[in-house]
Structure 1
Amino acid sequence: MANPNKVKGTAWESAIRDYLNAFLGLVDSHGKFLDPFDGGNVRRPAQEGAKDVGDIHAVPFVLEAKNTKSPAVPTWIRQAEIEAVHAGFPYGVVVRKVRGCAVAMGRVHVSVRTWTRIRLALGMPTDEFTTLYGWSVSLRGLDTSRWYLTTTVRQFAHLVGDFRRLVPAGVSARAVR
């Protein structure tokens, strides 16, 4: 019998992938890629070797999907950022399932540093970026490494689409580090 937690995790990863592909218009009404060779397709990569490359690739983002009861967001964000480096992507984010809610209501978490790099790559002022994508701030004590920003999967899907439309290829990788 398969590990039930692995089954839940795989189902959550697949649900995120399918939601983003549909939202971005990359699949037909049956969920088949319009262009299977398009590098912009959101995919679940096969894990190879010792270095994890994240659960989902949605260029230019690596997503670490979490379907657990107890959140450990700052730890997960560090994990996502390391996996983004392993995969050669500029941004690592965490996508956490919200129990009893649709995929669109899942929570996307990013570090303050990653949030700032994305905002600067888009060339947006802080207030506009915060409002447009529904970001909220979580401050965990005085340790700034534990601070992060959160939005919904739906708002993040808008961000991915806008990023791909507004930021020329290659610029995201050179964004403020």
Structure 2
Amino acid sequence: MANPAKAKGTAWESAWTAYIREHHNPSAHRNVQIGAKDIGDVSGYYLHAAELKAEKTITLSSYIAQANREAVHAGQPFGCAVVKRRMKGTADGYVVRDVATDVRLMNRMRDMEDALQDAAFDRWYALDKQHREAA
């Protein structure tokens, strides 16, 4: 690849997609870029359009604006920027959302947890325990 910056971005997208496949969703995949109606760099990060960035200078405001636009195009409720941390591995990168998006996500999680507790408390309890132990 003639463009080193593009090669770095492609490598980050590939590494993050592999990480998400292993730890989150085996069917996650990189998206083909489609111009004005772009749907994010990677699909398969649950409920999110993920915009991946591996740049020397980090500009969160533009990343978040782009991720939020792409979430609308992808039909996803949440957008996030996944930013490579320099000199670190994939798991050390950053997933970034604006506060409004994060509050909407937390409200959804709260409401879904309440609903699961009401419908199947034993299942909720087992999942809660599993996730607390994994932390």
Specify the TM-score bucket, using the shorter chain as the normaliser: 0.7 to 0.9
CA distance in 2, matches of 1:50, 1:74: 19
Question: Partner residue of 2:6?
Answer: 6
Q: CA deviation at 1:97?
A: 0.7
CA positional deviation for 1:87: 1.1
Select which of 71, 90, 96 maps to 2:58. Answer: 71
Amino acid at match of 1:2: A
Q: Residue 2 of structure 1 aligns to a residue in which SS?
A: coil
Which one-letter code corresponds to 1:42 in the other structure? A
Change (3 A) 1:108 1:49: closer
Runs of 5+ unmatched residues, structure 1: 27-40, 125-161, 163-177
TM norm structure 1: 0.59
In the other structure, the counterpart of 1:43 is: 29
Aligned equivalents of 2:101 and 2:76: distance in 1?
12
Say how many residue pairs are matched.
Answer: 111
Q: Is the 8 A contact 1:42 1:59 kept in 2?
A: no
CA distance in 2, matches of 1:48, 1:79: 14
Structure 2 CA distance, aligned partners of 1:119 and 1:25? 21
| One-letter code aligned to 2:8 | K
Q: Percent identity?
A: 41
Matched, 1:101 2:103: no
| Inter-partner Cα distance in structure 2 for 1:25 and 1:119 | 21
| TM-score (norm: length of structure 2) | 0.76
Q: CA deviation at 1:50?
A: 2.9
Does the Cα contact within 8 Å between 1:67 and 1:97 map onto a contact in 2?
A: yes
What is the root-mean-square deviation in Å for CA atoms of aligned residues?
1.6
SS in 1 for 2:97: strand
User: What residue number does 1:56 align with?
Assistant: 42
Residues 11-160 of structure 1 mapped to structure 2, 5 A cutoff: 11-24=11-24, 26=26, 41-57=27-43, 58-123=45-110
State the alpha-carbon separation in 2 of the partners of residues 64 and 121 from structure 1: 21
Hey, which of these two has a bigger chunk of helix by percent? 2
Q: Where in structure 2 are there 5+ consecutive unaligned residues? A: 112-130
Structure 1 residues 36-79: Cα deviation after superposition (integer angstroms, max 9, x where no partner) = xxxxx211111235311111112311111111111110111011
